Amino acid sequence: MASSRSEERRAQVMIGDLPNDFLRVSNTPEGQNQQVMEDARIAQVLQAQQAAGFAMVPSNVAGRLSISVVQAKLTKNYGLTKMDPYCRVRVGHTVFETPTAYNGAKNPNWNKTIQTYLPNGVDSLYIEIFDERSFTVDDRIAWAHITIPEVVKAGETVDNWFLLSGRQGDEKEGTINLIFSLTPVSELQQTAPAVGVPVAYNTPVMMPMYYPPVQPGVPVQYPAVQPAQQRPMYTDDDLKEFKDMFPNMDLDVIKSVLEANRGNKESTINALLTMTAE
């Protein structure tokens, strides 16, 4: 059994010179679509990790950046019958997506606020607008490379419109309304307790139970103990969510990883990412 597995793995090894396009995204439509789908999967995973909450503030960040994607005014409707735009925002290595503005057409409204730590040295973001499609790959209709205003790092809030590029030409696809604000590292609250301050934890208290003395010849009746209902470690919705994040992963494998991590979503995501990387 072990020898057959090792032979299968050896058969998958590439021997010889690597091709010139190794680990590179090709300029063909297929390669670009593959990158778009991979970015979408990364966005789902990172948003799930963000939903679990921030643990500690990293040491190499300027603060927590808040970006409100309010609305856009687009030049053209590229949909056949309608256009359902949504935004994808990349800050450093972090990717976020807004909800889809169904029937938004040329005037979509999102009003979505995202928060992320701003690494030192990162002074810009890349934003893309896609038209959500039902049966084909989502169509990219506009994009922009936006420099974060310097006054934001000084503590000011900036509400501005930025030009979009697209098929109509550079900075000719319309505008998008963004609101920036930054919370410095010094103002971020740490989740760890302060040194020397006692921390109180809730401890269950066992209450004593008394039973009446037993009379000879009289049957004793004790109160029935209700069995504690155990919550399931995961639900069908959890399985569907993980299956959407990892479409190439077998459902039974996802179940086993969830059970091994006792239903902990963050640990399960990290384990599945490790398995995918392998």
Q: Determine, yes or no, domain membership for 211.
A: no
Both 244 and 119 in one domain: the answer is no
CA distances from 134 to 82, 84, 243 (A): 12, 10, 18
N-terminal to C-terminal alpha carbon distance within the chain = 20
pLDDT band at 12 (very low <50, low <70, confident <90, very high): low
> How many structural domains are present in the chain?
2
pLDDT of residue 128: 96
pLDDT greater at residue 105 or residue 5: 105
pLDDT of residue 194: 44
Q: Determine, yes or no, domain membership for 221.
A: no
Give the distance, in angstroms, between the CA of residue 175 and the centroid of all CA atoms in the same chain.
26
Both 152 and 246 in one domain: the answer is no
Both 159 and 266 in one domain: the answer is no
Q: Determine, yes or no, domain membership for 181.
A: yes
Least confident range from 43-47, 59-63, 193-197: namely 193-197
pLDDT of residue 232: 72
Both 74 and 168 in one domain: the answer is yes
CA distance 115 to 89: 11
Q: Determine, yes or no, domain membership for 4.
A: no
Q: Which domain holds residue 244?
A: 240-277
Q: Determine, yes or no, domain membership for 12.
A: no
Both 44 and 164 in one domain: the answer is yes
Six token digits for residue 133: 């499609």
Six token digits for residue 9: 């793995």
Both 43 and 167 in one domain: the answer is yes
CATH at residue 65: 2.60.40.150
Both 77 and 178 in one domain: the answer is yes
pLDDT of residue 227: 57
> pLDDT per residue over 122-175, tens digit each?
999 999 999 998 888 999 999 999 999 999 988 899 999 999 999 999 999 999
Mean pLDDT to the nearest integer, 35-43? 74
